[in-house]
């Protein structure tokens, strides 16, 4: 992958990320779905599904409700998927290390994204001021213009973050992978298992709710079966 592919992935990723809080909230932005789509677009649906399941478990308890400020896990997961596909093509013998590094990088980006989201919310007050100044003169039209502008602004923000995240991640992680001994790949598989265990542990915190048990079990079973078929 090069800058052109990163650009296209950023366009798609930004569109999917809008679903997190800006529009719809139809769950297509959730890692298990979005990463699989990114994996399909990037030519490796298996890696997309694998990253998606790991990141879905890690962020499963973070719900974007009301004014809650949650880690930007959805966009970061799509960055991790793209980088995993790209770096696995460059360093196929380091697959476990690639998987570990992109997940850790995505976690870092998630918390940076949360701070940027909070900053963006505070700066969005100019839209409210615009509406209040023009509501009597323009009526509902001013609200409609403000909504469309806000969606476009969010899309541009998500695109920029994903595109920059891909470029920085490619440069940084490529340099790291180029200096890591091959034997470390054998050790890295155990840390990947640990990530799965942490994610499953977080998922099980929702298991007390009867309505959630069915979906958790179905999701885990479906993911395992699908990964087995794709392997």
Tokens 């990964």 belong to 227
**Token reading at 18:** 């809008």
Position 167 scores a pLDDT of 92
Q: What is the pLDDT of residue 189?
A: 73
Dihedral sign computed on CA atoms, order 135, 141, 147, 152 = negative
Provide mean pLDDT across the span 175-179.
85
* Average pLDDT value for the chain: 75
> Following DSSP, what letter does each residue of 84-116 receive, concatenated?
HHHHHHH-GGGHHHHHHHHHHHHHHHHHHHHHH
CB atoms near residue 202 (< 10 Å): 16
**More confident site: 45 or 231:** 45
If one counts every other C-beta atom within 10 angstroms of the C-beta of residue 130, the result is 15
Interval 182-214: pLDDT, tens: 777 777 777 766 666 666 665 665 555 556 566
CB distance 133 to 145 below 8 Å? no
**Which of 80-94, 167-181, 196-210 has the least mean pLDDT?**
196-210
Pick the range with the lowest mean pLDDT from 19-23, 82-86, 159-163, 217-221: 217-221
Percent of the chain surpassing pLDDT 90: 6
- pLDDT (tens digit per residue) in 106-155: 888 887 766 666 666 666 666 666 666 666 666 666 666 666 777 787 88
C-alpha distance across the termini of the chain, in Å: 22
Do residues 78 and 34 lie in contact, with contact meaning Cβ atoms separated by under 8 Å? yes
């Amino acid at each position: 992958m090069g800058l052109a592919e990163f650009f296209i992935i950023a366009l798609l990723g930004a569109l999917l990320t809008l679903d997190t809080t800006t529009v719809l909230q139809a769950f297509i932005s959730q890692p298990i779905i979005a990463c699989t789509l990114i994996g399909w677009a990037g030519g490796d649906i298996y890696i997309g599904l694998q990253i998606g399941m790991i990141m879905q478990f890690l962020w499963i308890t973070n719900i974007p409700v009301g004014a809650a400020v949650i880690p930007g896990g959805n966009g970061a997961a799509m960055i991790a998927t793209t980088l995993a596909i790209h770096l696995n093509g460059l360093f196929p013998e380091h697959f476990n290390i690639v998987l570990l590094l992109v997940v850790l990088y995505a976690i870092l980006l998630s918390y940076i994204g949360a701070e940027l989201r909070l900053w963006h919310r505070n700066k969005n007050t100019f839209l409210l001021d615009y509406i209040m100044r023009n509501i009597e003169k323009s009526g509902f039209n001013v609200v409609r213009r403000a909504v469309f502008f806000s969606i476009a602004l969010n899309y541009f923000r998500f695109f920029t973050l994903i595109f920059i995240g891909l470029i920085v991640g490619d440069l940084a992680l490529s340099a790291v992978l180029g200096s890591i001994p091959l034997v470390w790949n054998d050790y890295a598989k155990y840390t990947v298992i640990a990530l799965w265990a942490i994610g499953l542990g977080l998922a099980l915190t929702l298991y007390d709710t009867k309505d959630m048990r069915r979906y958790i079990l179905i999701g885990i079973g479906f993911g395992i079966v699908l990964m087995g078929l794709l392997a």
